Amino acid sequence: MKNFIAKIGAVLLALGTVMALSGCGEDSGTNPYADAKMVDSRDGKTYKTVKIGDKVWMAENLNYQTGESKCYDNKPENCDKYGRLYVWSEAVTACPDGWHLPNKQELEDLKITAGQKAGIDMAGTVLKSSTGWKVNSGKSGNGTDGLGFGALPAGSYFSDLDDFHDEGNYALFWSSTEYSSNDAYYLVLDCSYEGAGVYDYDKSSGFSVRCVKNP
């Protein structure tokens, strides 16, 4: 977990921002989008969807139960709020029929599309939900939700420590693309940074899943 936070911090500092993972309080806002929906035939759960560029994305985190997936802090109400956290090996097969876990390029394209709306350094703000993010140094971490993606700060799960971290601070989304036998690429948004990044990390970590509709 310390290595994870250190890695994120180093990358964001290199981009000219300062990480601050504490001293936060919640802000508020509203989501202006009311988009189409899809139903997961496996369990009957309904998800909002949104078209971004030429892709149709789930506009909510996946909440389909798999063997190792977790609710944040093991509280069912957090699955209702944030969806489930998945290790990579389950994330790659967790999406329903007709949908798939985005690859690295699809996450990069999402970031670019968000950046085209407000400038690449503001891509994270465009993707983040307008509520639920913590405040850093008196500045709200909430986004504009300018594309209707509505990323909530679901935090993460570290399976090696059996521990949860950073609810309110981070949204982390797996891609299907491997970096190595141990790591895979993911998209990260955080409460103290207006941008977005696609990096690699340990596949045994529990991150959120957003599915993309097949062509």
Using a pLDDT cut of 90, give the percent of the chain over it.
80
Whether 20 shows a pLDDT value over 80: the answer reads: no
Using one digit for the tens of pLDDT, what is the confidence trace for 112-155? Answer: 999 999 999 999 999 999 999 999 888 999 999 999 999 999 99
Taking the C-alpha atoms of residue 201 and residue 137, their distance in angstroms, rounded to an integer, is 28
Average pLDDT over residues 75-101: 98
Using one digit for the tens of pLDDT, what is the confidence trace for 154-205? Answer: 999 998 888 999 999 999 999 999 999 999 999 999 999 999 999 999 999 9
What total number of domains does the chain contain? 1
Whether 75 shows a pLDDT value over 70: the answer reads: yes
Using one digit for the tens of pLDDT, what is the confidence trace for 46-60? Answer: 999 999 999 999 999
- Domain membership of residue 36 as a residue range: 2-213
What is the pLDDT, as a whole number, of residue 48? 97
Tokens 């970031």, located at residue = 111
